[in-house]
Amino acid sequence: MLISAIRPIPDAAFSFVQAHEGCRLTAYLDSAGVPTVGYGHAGVAVHLGQTITQDQADDYLRQDLATAAQRLESAVGEACVTELTANQYAALLSFVFNVGIDPKWRICQLLKAQKFDQIPAELMRFVNAGGKKLQGLVNRRADEVKLWSTDEPGSVPVDPSSAYSRTVDTPPTASAAASNPLLKTWHYVLGLGSMGASVAAENAPKVKGVIDRTSDAIAPYAGHSAVVQGISDHLALVAACMAALTVGAMVISHQKAKTS
């Protein structure tokens, strides 16, 4: 283990960055015109024509990974960093080493909320540079996701064939649905249908009232935001379902009254 001020830096981080950066012992200008040497190391002490040994390159990488660790902790907090597995930590150190980190980024918000199941998809968004998607970045993010997912906490060490996974129920993890308020509302609507006509008749108008008030509140902003418009459209769909449940419950109640 390489030691940093925060927590031990996994050997996996060191070897991963080594493999993806490549090492040049003579300083050169990178694509941004910055003097660089070793495993992508830059700084005021680096200048063109400079040569270093392999041991110096390794030391520079240790320093840069320690800096990445400090930036990561500053962006997401010590509580998050301590909850990461060694492989998750290594994957994030590679990410920060490669692209940096900003506390305002969504990936930081997800990390602070410890919604770790959503991190792989978020990592794969960082594949653009200079206004273009770069295959090298796609490959690196994919490898970071693979490293992140190695020894996933709570998973059973089984490698099932596709023949097996296609024939059994494979729903998403509960946290994926629970983190989406629209999915939660939709599941509630579906739940009303299974609760029976009388319960649906009692609850549907209440939920519809909440939906109507929310829709009215965001309506003035729908034309200015695709996200708000999408929410508005989903709410309209849910409201229509609630109305259908209410009508259905009324019809069933009417039929029961006629037969009694």
Q: pLDDT for 4-49, tens place per residue? A: 557 889 999 999 999 999 999 999 998 888 999 999 999 899 999 9
Over residues 59-65, the mean pLDDT reads 96
Q: Structure tokens of 218?
A: 């965001």
Q: pLDDT for 109-146, tens place per residue? A: 999 999 999 999 999 999 999 899 999 999 999 999 99
- Mean pLDDT of the residues in the chain: 80
Q: Is 169 exposed, middle or buried (0-12, 13-18, 19+ CB in 10 A)?
A: exposed
- Decide: 127 and 133 in contact? Cβ < 8 Å: yes
Over residues 234-240, the mean pLDDT reads 59
Residue 236: its pLDDT value, please?
60
Residues in contact with 140: Cβ distance below 8 Å, sequence separation at least 6, in sequence order: 20, 94, 98
Q: Residue 192, SS3?
A: helix
pTM exceeds cut of 0.75: no
Active-site positions read 21
- pLDDT > 90: percent of the chain: 52
Residue 19: its pLDDT value, please?
95
For 231: left if phi > 0, alpha if psi spans -120 to 50, otherwise beta; the answer is alpha
With a cut of 90, say whether residue 58 has pLDDT above it: yes
Residue 212: its pLDDT value, please?
63
The length of the chain is: 260
With a cut of 80, say whether residue 235 has pLDDT above it: no
At 222, give phi and psi (nearest 5°): -60, -35
Over residues 53-81, the mean pLDDT reads 96
DSSP-assigned letter for residue 29: E
Q: pLDDT for 155-165, tens place per residue? A: 888 888 888 88
Q: Structure tokens of 95?
A: 């990410």
Residue 238: its pLDDT value, please?
60
Q: What is the residue whose two structure tokens read 């064939």?
A: 161
More confident residue, 246 or 72: 72
Could you give the CA distance from residue 47 to residue 27 in angstroms, rounded to a whole number? 6
